[in-house]
Amino acid sequence: MSATLKYHGHACFSMAAGGKRAIMDPFLTDNPMAVESAEDIVCDAVLVSHAHSDHLGDAIEIAKNNDAVLVATYELAVYCQRQGVEDVYPMHIGGGHEFDWGHVKLTVAHHSSSIVTDESIVALGASSGFLVTMGERLLYYAGDTALCADIEFIGRMNDLDAAVLPIGDTFTMGLDDAVIAAKMLGAGLTVPMHYNTFEVIQADPHEFVRRVQAEGLHARVMEPGEEIGL
């Protein structure tokens, strides 16, 4: 068995195996890094780490278009259900579930989860990351998070084929902390995300890759639209 990992820009990745695809944090509309539009996405599952607009993005539309299951922490999943997504699967941190396309376990992410509009700010529970298993490959999708001791625990408990980590600073761990996280995780492949989309999250992904490689680990930059084997 094997799986592929595709980068869609910013914090959006999808993983595919056995003819099934799960997309994570599909922010495509108004995403300057995206090369596809929401209506082009074909998938079986939509995983949403938290409600911020650069993560919830087009998730509701994509889930509806594909009759895909939407997986998120409880409050966010219920919110999406009330927006018309028929198939939602609410979960919470530490919980895992086996779907017909793969297995997901929610991980701690030190961050918030809210929808901010001109009229109101709605808090939607906890932010999360994901451990996704498809095609016997295990991916750690960190989501938006600070560097934290939980990441060391995740590295110790799991034989990770790949890890995707934010490096953009300001809202998440920055490059220095992401290098420490990569060492803690020791994944077969480390890929940076959540950088350069906006002025306030500028970071050099090639510097990140060089520094992770200097620790004896495999790392690479993925370009939006690129898909690789795991």
Q: Which positions lie near Mn ion, rule CB under 5 A?
A: 54, 144
CB within 8 A of 74, min separation 6: which ones? Answer: 90, 91, 92, 125
Question: Smallest distance from the beta carbon of 174 to Mn ion, in angstroms?
Answer: 13
Shorter beta-carbon distance to Mn ion: residue 17 or 76:
76
Shorter beta-carbon distance to Mn ion: residue 16 or 76:
76
Give the range of 61-69, 70-78, 139-147, 180-188 binding Ni ion by CB under 5 A.
Answer: 139-147
- Check binding of 52 to Ni ion (CB under 5 A): yes
Residue number with the smallest Cβ distance to Ni ion: 52
Which secondary structure element, helix H or strand E, spans residue 130, and what is its range? strand 128-134
Question: Smallest distance from the beta carbon of 180 to Ni ion, in angstroms?
Answer: 20
Q: Which does 10 bind (CB under 5 to 8 A by kind): Mn ion, Ni ion, none?
A: none
Determine the Cα–Cα distance for residues 224 and 186; give it in Å rounded to an integer. 24
Give the range of 26-34, 85-93, 114-122, 142-150 binding Ni ion by CB under 5 A.
Answer: 142-150
Q: Which does 211 bind (CB under 5 to 8 A by kind): Ni ion, Mn ion, none?
A: none
3-state class of 183 per DSSP? helix
Determine the Cα–Cα distance for residues 216 and 183; give it in Å rounded to an integer. 9
Shorter beta-carbon distance to Ni ion: residue 52 or 105:
52
CB within 8 A of 156, min separation 6: which ones? Answer: none
- Check binding of 44 to Ni ion (CB under 5 A): no
3-state class of 70 per DSSP? strand
Q: How many CB atoms lie within 10 A of CB 96?
A: 12
DSSP E strands, 95-176: 96-98, 103-108, 114-116, 121-123, 128-134, 137-141, 162-166
Shorter beta-carbon distance to Mn ion: residue 61 or 144:
144
Of 25, 44, 61, 144, the residue at the interface with Ni ion (CB under 5 A) is 144
Which residue in this structure is represented by tokens 């709605």? Answer: 122
> For residue 124, which of 161, 79, 163 has the smallest C-alpha distance?
79
Shorter beta-carbon distance to Ni ion: residue 63 or 126:
126
Give the range of 57-65, 136-144, 149-157, 215-223 binding Ni ion by CB under 5 A.
Answer: 136-144
Q: How many CB atoms lie within 10 A of CB 115?
A: 15
Residues making contact with Ni ion (CB under 5 A): 52, 144
